Amino acid sequence: MKTRIIQDDPDDDPAPDQPAEPPADGPGTTQRDRHIKEAPMSRLLSPIRRHPVIAFFVLAYALAWGAIPWNSFFAPGALIAALVVAFVRDGTAGLRDIGVRLIRWRVGWIWYALALAVPFGVHAATIGLNMAAGAPTPDTSQFSPWFGVALVLGLNIITPTGGPFSEEPSFRGFALPAMQERRTPLGAAAILAVLVTGWHAPLFFMDSFGLEPIEAATTVAVTFWYVWLFNQAAGSALITLIAHAAEGSVEYRAGALWPTGGDATRLIWLYFAAWTLVAGVLIIGHRRFWTRAPAVDNGERAPRPADTVASAA
């Protein structure tokens, strides 16, 4: 009978009386060792990685609405939510994607021109139509001095607590590209319009903000304009930031141009109608754009190492 002798190898597991040391995360660490160490955290963050858009909006709503008990609204919550979810999903590469879209300035001059001309044109048209409907000459004090609008435009672009700077890197710079990975621009715009309007919902019920319910429908319409502009301008959140800042540079609500009353209310409805017309012209006049995959960077990434390990386990 042959006897098989097995000799203990010096590299084998230590004897029972010798405590085993956890594997160091160095050159000798195996992929399985890393997976075992990262598994609890990976399981915790996995829902965010699988559903980044849902996670983003849940966090954006929670942060912004968290100030409601103090009769306020924390607009920067949208940007914070985008940064957190982007980092969880893709690490520093996710943060870089948001930053690159925000400073993407090398686009055609026509998109800069439209980013300014369309919002200011909508304001001018609604003011003119309101006057044609019988409203007197509006109060133009907000336009004095002559560079007042340009100053407000610049402040809207750079103010970190303002709506444009909080919303464009997040709603357009992060959420929209992620949504367009699996949807057409039309589908993404429709969902985004509802979610963004819902995010603004508390503002329509707070007297301190002075918003009318019809302005919720205006938010839906203007979202289609921002989606179209973002995609046309090569995925530049800077262009939509400029457009958003321009749209907010002219105060049109009750008491700003006309005293509170019929003239002021009519202006709000005309403003809604003007943006609805813009959205309708874009959807009908550029039908092919809305039904095809956008030819811009939508942030699609290769599988993350942690996800690859988890799927193989």
Structure tokens at 185: 């621009």
For a pLDDT cut of 70, what percent of the chain falls above it? 81
CA dist 44 and 28 (Å) reads 27
CA proximity to 119, closest of 226, 201, 236, 253: 226
Structure tokens at 300: 């699609």
Give pLDDT tens digits for 202-242.
999 888 787 888 999 999 999 999 999 999 999 999 999 99
Structure tokens at 66: 């968290």
Q: Which helix (H) or strand (E) holds 160?
A: none
CA proximity to 91, closest of 312, 307, 313: 307
Taking a C-beta distance cutoff of 8 angstroms, is the pair 170, 64 a contact? no
Query: Can you give the C-alpha Rg of the chain in angstroms?
Result: 26
Q: How many residues does the chain have?
A: 313
For the chain, the domains span 44-304
CB atoms within 10 A of CB 4: 4
Residue 9 clears pLDDT 90, i.e. is over it: no
Give pLDDT tens digits for 158-212.
999 999 999 999 999 999 999 999 999 999 999 999 999 999 999 998 887 878 8
Q: DSSP letter for 107, please.
A: S
Q: Which residue shows structure tokens 């709503």? A: 61
Structure tokens at 311: 């799927």
| Cα 172 versus chain centre, distance | 4
CA dist 122 and 62 (Å) reads 32
Q: DSSP letter for 51, please.
A: -
Q: Is 181 exposed, middle or buried (0-12, 13-18, 19+ CB in 10 A)?
A: middle
* pLDDT, position 284: 97
Give the distance between the most distant pair of CA atoms in the chain.
Answer: 114
* pLDDT, position 1: 45
CA proximity to 197, closest of 9, 64, 30, 4: 64
* pLDDT, position 293: 82
Q: Which residues of 230-249 are buried (b: 16+ CB within 10 A; e: fewer)?
A: bbbbbbbbbbbbbbbbbbbb
Residue 275 clears pLDDT 60, i.e. is over it: yes
CA proximity to 214, closest of 172, 160, 276, 158: 276
CA dist 76 and 81 (Å) reads 9
* pLDDT, position 308: 32
* pLDDT, position 10: 45
Q: Is 35 exposed, middle or buried (0-12, 13-18, 19+ CB in 10 A)?
A: middle
